[in-house]
Structures are given as C-alpha cells and as structure tokens.
Chains A and B, each alone.
Chain A
Amino acid sequence: MVLTGADNDPVHKVLVIEPNRQLSWKTTKRVFLALALCLGGVAWYFTSLGAWLVIPFTGLELLLIGLGLYLHCCHSHQQQVIQIDAESVSICDGRLGAQQASFPRAWAKIIQTRDPKGWYPSRLFIGSHGQFVEIGKFLIEGERDTLADNLRCAIQGA
C-alpha cells in the first residue's frame, strides 16, 4: 500500500510504502489464542484418554504457529518513507526513522526491472550515479507500477 501526502504542494512530497496487512498485533494475538484454545482442547481430550504424547506435538506446533505469526507481523509492519524536497530525494525506514539514502533530486532516476517471462515480480530502484536503493519490494505488481509512474512524475514534475 502506498500512501501519499494529501497536500498539493508541487515541490515537497512524502510517500509512505507499506505492505498490505489486515491484522493488527492485537488481532494476531487473538488468532493465536483461538488456535491455542482449540489445540489445547484436542490435547486435553486425548491426554484424558491416555495419549499424553499428543501434548508435545501440539506444543511444538503452537510454537511454530506463534513464530510464523510473529515473524510475519514484524515483516508486515515495515515501512519505507520517501521524502522529496526541492533539492533531494531521501529514503527512510519509517519504523526506525533512520535515513537510508539520499540522492540529488535532479539526478535521481527510477528504474524498474522486469522478468522477460513475467515469471518473477518486477523490482523498483531509485538512485543516481550507479548507486541505487530498492523500494517497494513487498508491493504487488500493480502497486509497484503505479508507484514508479507517480515517483517519476513527482521527481521530474517540479
């Protein structure tokens, strides 16, 4: 998902790029709890029948589910912020607030590479003088295309 400043300032622009995500951390925890409850019920039932060996397997599985949900939650909260000033284009990590790279606006170039067979997703780079930063790796194809077009307009359209 790409968000952009609502103001119509032609010179300064801010773009925020995020992966699509539908779960907040709170709902993630709820999903995990619901699964844990169901699995716990199953494990408890079979333990009561004498098959206590089901417990370690449900436990291991819950651990894996938790890990998967957590890792993906981290991943889906990443954010790239592109700030376009009169002079420069800078890219920050939106979550850490750290600046990653900055390029002179006049020289900044947008390059989109495509797999000739359309088998792999395209990649989008921004930079100048041979130094490039990849942006929007987590976007889907259409969003990336639109982003590339809009960036080109925004940078050159000053």
Chain B
Amino acid sequence: MSTTTLSHDEAHHHDAPKGWRRWLFSTNHKDIGTLYLLFALTMLFLGGASAMLIRMELFMPGIQLVDPDLYNNLVTNHALIMIFGAVMPAAAGLANWMIPMMIGAPDMALPRMNNLSFWILPAAATMLILSFVVPFFPGGGTQINTGWTLYPPLSVQVGMSMDFLIFAIHLLGISSVLASINIIVTLLNMRAPGMALMKMPMFCWTWLVTAFLLILVVPVLAGGVTMLLFDRHFGTSFFDAAGGGDPVLFQHLFWFFGHPEVYILLLPSIGVLSHVIPAFSRKPLFGYNSMVGSMLAVATIGMVVWAHHQYTIGMSMGAVTYFMIGTIIISIPVGLMIFNFIATMWRGSMTFETPMLFAIAIVLMFTFGGLSGVMLAVVPADMQYHDSMFVVAHFHYVLMPGAVFGLFAGVFYWLPKWTGHMYDERLGKIFFWTNVIGFNITFFPQHFLGLAGMPRRIIDYNVMFTEFNVISSVGAIIFGLSHLLLLYIVIKTIRGGKKAESRSWEGAKGLEWELDSPPAFHTWTVAPQVK
C-alpha cells in the first residue's frame, strides 16, 4: 500500500471504470451479480425458444417442423441451456448480489476469481450454441440426438458437435466450481462478527450446501465426459462393451452428478422462499434449525441415491431396494421443509405481493411434484413410468416451481433493493397468473400422456395421444409468451419507477434491508493487541 495523490475531483467522484471496462474487469459483487442475472435472462429466452419449438412439433401427430435429429437436438439443448445457462447462473447471480450484503461482508472473498467464473460462462454458452449450429454447415457432422444425459453408445455415434458440447460442459463445470469455491470461502470466513453459522440467513445456508454439492459432483461429470471424449477419439473403450468397457458406467457417472444437480437447482430457491414467506407473513421463519437440518439431510441423502434414475438397467434386487428406500426417505426432510413453510404462513398476517404469490405457488406445486416423485421412487411402479411423459411432467413440476419460480420470487423480492425502484405490482400479478396457469396447462396433461403409454423424447406419436398434446401445446404458448411480460417489468423497473425505501417490504428482515443503518455488533469494544 502506498500513498496516493488525491485531487479535489477524486475526493468526490468515484474512480470506478466506466463503460464496457466496468463490466469486463469488474470485481464488484453487485456488478457480477447483475451480469449473471442478465446472462440467465438471455439464456431463459434461448432455452424457452427451443422448448416452444418442441411443443410446436408435438402439437399434432406427424412430423411438421423439424427433422427427428433436430428435434432430439432441441431436447438436448433445452435441458442444457435451461439448467446450466438459466437456472444455475440466475441462482449464482442472486448469491453474488445478496450473500455479501446478508453476512455483512464488503465483497466476495475472491473478487478476481468471481470475475473469471462469470466470464467463462459466455464462452461456454457460445460453445453450447456452436454444438447446436455446427451440423447445419457442410461437414459439420450429425446433430446431438442423445438428450442431455449423453448416454453412450449413442453419444459415440454423434459427429463433431458432441466434442463442442463436451468442451462446453467442461467450461460450465469450471465456472461452477470457481463460483462455489468463492461462495464457500466467503460464507465460512467473511461473516460479520457475532454471526455464527446457525445465525446465518437461510439463503446463505442453502448456497453453502449447494456449493459443497457442486464441488463434490462436478469433477465426476468432468471425468465422465472426458472418458466419453477418449472413447470417441483416442480408441479407449471405457463405455464400449465390445472393448471390455461398460455402457452403464457412464450412467452412474452422469447421475452421480445429475441427481445432486437437482438439489443444486432447488436449494437456492428454497433459500429465497425462507426469506419471502416470513417477510410477507410478518412473522419469523418457522423452525430455522429444522430447516438447516433437513437441508443438510437432503444434500447428504441426495448424494447417495443417484441410481433411481436407472432402475431399468437391471441392477440386483438388493441394489434397487437400497436406492428405493433411500429415495423415499428423502421425502422426510423435504416434507419437513414444506411443513415449515406452511407453518410460517400459519397464523401470520399475510399480504399477497408478487413474490408471495410465487412462494405460495411453489409450496403447492412443488408438493405436487414431490409427491409424484414418491410414486416414481417405487421401483416396480417405475418400471412403468420410466422414460414416459409422466417423468417429463414430474420433473417439470419439481423444477419449474422448485427452481424457476423461486428465482422469480427472489427477483421480484429484491428488485427494489437492486434498482432502487419498485416494480409495477399490477403487471407483476398479471405475470404471475399467466405464468402459473400456462405452466399448469402445459404440464398437467403430460401425466396422463405418460400413463397412457407415450414415451418421452419422441418426435411423432400415435393419434391416441393427440388431445392432451394439443392442450399441452396451447398451454406452452401462454406460458412462453408470459415471459415477455417479465422482461418488460424488469426493464421498466430498471429505468425508473416509484422510489424504493431501504426496507422495501413491511415485513422484510435481514442485514440487506438495513444497509443504511448498520448493525451494532462491531468495533470499539475489544482491547487492541499492538506491538
């Protein structure tokens, strides 16, 4: 540290970089959080566009819009973009914005690493989009027709776009790991004095657990896709039965990552809920300790039940029994979480602003998705449900409310804090109703399709499945278009609006709402130790 010369001007203006430098070289947690959120919003529309194409194609029996490989590629891309491009970066954006504010830290622990972990994402997204675009060019090979699970041997047949995808997954993994390390170090080391772990806001807790999960599972996925790359190009046969390998090994590697990934998507939204519901119920969160405990339980059990995605690979009866019991057991901590949310609302003094509406929708619809999850966990019954549209309906009922609606709730809840303006409440409510109703029309009928015998990931189907597909596609149009309203609300709020107070919501609690009046638990009391 050296002395600097301060001119009169500098004493009053900030020397932070302006223009594109501000964003490219930013080490400020708020800037990076904003970048993450904008990136996620862009990707939400990209992934949404592929979902719309899928639903358009499935609207009627027959092949109308896309050819089968392109359809399968859309399925692949929709999943990857939504998971890695939209939900995870949006959750990371919330984390970047809120965690330092919530724990009373000046910034994230490793600001330069924070910058890196964001700027890897656009590069990774470019690779992901390239993997989609490359087959349209001469010599580009075949399209990725494997779905996001990338199961070999099918993924070994695919052309060069699979290599792009593998590279993209590596980049995405690096980005997530860097962000996780940053969050773990920040949360463990930079809490304000007096804030014990068990006094940490729930959102911080959920991200701490999420970051640990990411650190544990990402290397396994990285190893898996690298082995796939080796099988494709370097003559190894990790997954090739003819060469002594094992095609099922990849499934284990993938789902060891893939199942905790579900909780990685889910937990930050649970954290948001634990702030939104108490704020609008005007009453403290019911059962903070049991929330933390059940979250840790979910994460721990969730790590060791991955094979319930592969009941049909022909495991031994002992193995499937173990995975079945483990999976059903998860309903205990998850049930406790849901119970705590309901008990927080119970005997509260509720008002129903947009974040709260989303929160209630999550409690109801996530319960629904969770219960169909219990049905899927039952091995013999899963022999029927597996890979049918029932599964598609189930995981959209878990992930849309569980992850995406939670993020919507968080965005509406903290938007006044971020922008300094209140959003338009009336538009917010319109957005909520179109969104939730559209979602239910889209995905509820898919349960029936699955039970009646329609497999997932098929481009064309028999006329007997027409009715529910029509309903589902009509719902999808409503659901998809409703997000344009979200875009409008967000941009409008950034531009201006009613000035937000530092405590934007009547019942909001937490350090982030008290930034102007800092808490009293610091400084000037402890004796110094100076040589």
A residues near B (Cβ < 8 Å) are: 1-6, 14-16, 19-23, 28, 31, 35, 38-39, 42-43, 46, 49-51, 53-58, 60-61, 64-65, 68-69, 71-73, 75-76, 81, 83, 93-94, 97, 100-101, 111, 113-116, 119-121, 123, 125, 127, 130-134, 137-143, 145-147, 150
Contacts and interface: CB of A to CB of B under 8 A. Distances in A.
Contacts of A58: 219, 223
Contacts of B347: none
Given A58-B223, A146-B522, 9 more contacts: A20-B191, A42-B219, A61-B219, A76-B190, A100-B1, A125-B6, A130-B7, A141-B106, A142-B519
Nearest to A55: B223
Given A42-B216, A76-B190, A115 B5 contact: no
Interface of B: 1-7, 10-14, 16, 28, 30, 104-107, 109-110, 113, 177-178, 181-182, 184-185, 188-193, 212, 215-220, 222-224, 226-227, 230, 238, 245-246, 249, 252-253, 256, 515, 517-519, 522-524, 526-531
Contacts of B518: 140-143, 145-146
A43 to B, nearest CB: 7
Please report whether the interface of chain B is mostly helix, strand, loop or mixed according to DSSP: loop
B117 to A, nearest CB: 11
A60 B104 CA distance: 31
Given A2-B523, A132-B5, A140-B192, A53 B14 contact: no
B286 to A, nearest CB: 27
B14 A120 contact: yes
Contacts of B227: 51, 53
A141 B517 CA distance: 10
21 contacts: A1-B526, A2-B524, A3-B524, A3-B526, A6-B527, A21-B189, A22-B188, A22-B190, A35-B212, A46-B253, A50-B245, A53-B238, A54-B223, A100-B1, A113-B10, A113-B11, A125-B4, A127-B6, A130-B7, A137-B106, A142-B518
A50 B238 contact: yes
Contacts of B218: 57, 61
Nearest to A100: B1
A146 B226 CA distance: 53
Contacts of B216: 38-39, 42
A15 B528 CA distance: 7
Contacts of A2: 522-524
B218 to A, nearest CB: 7
A51 B238 contact: yes
A83 B527 CA distance: 15
Contacts of B528: 3-6, 14-16
B189 A150 contact: no
A26 to B, nearest CB: 13
Contacts of A43: 219
A53 B182 contact: no
B524 to A, nearest CB: 6
B3 A127 contact: yes
A57 B14 contact: no
Given A5-B528, A53-B227, A39 B215 contact: yes
A21 to B, nearest CB: 5
A76 B530 contact: no
A16 B529 contact: yes
B190 A19 contact: yes
Nearest to A132: B6
Given A20-B192, A71-B110, A140-B105, A131 B530 contact: no
Identify which of A35, A51, A94 gathers the most chain B CB atoms within 10 Å of its CB.
Answer: A51
Contacts of A146: 518, 522-524
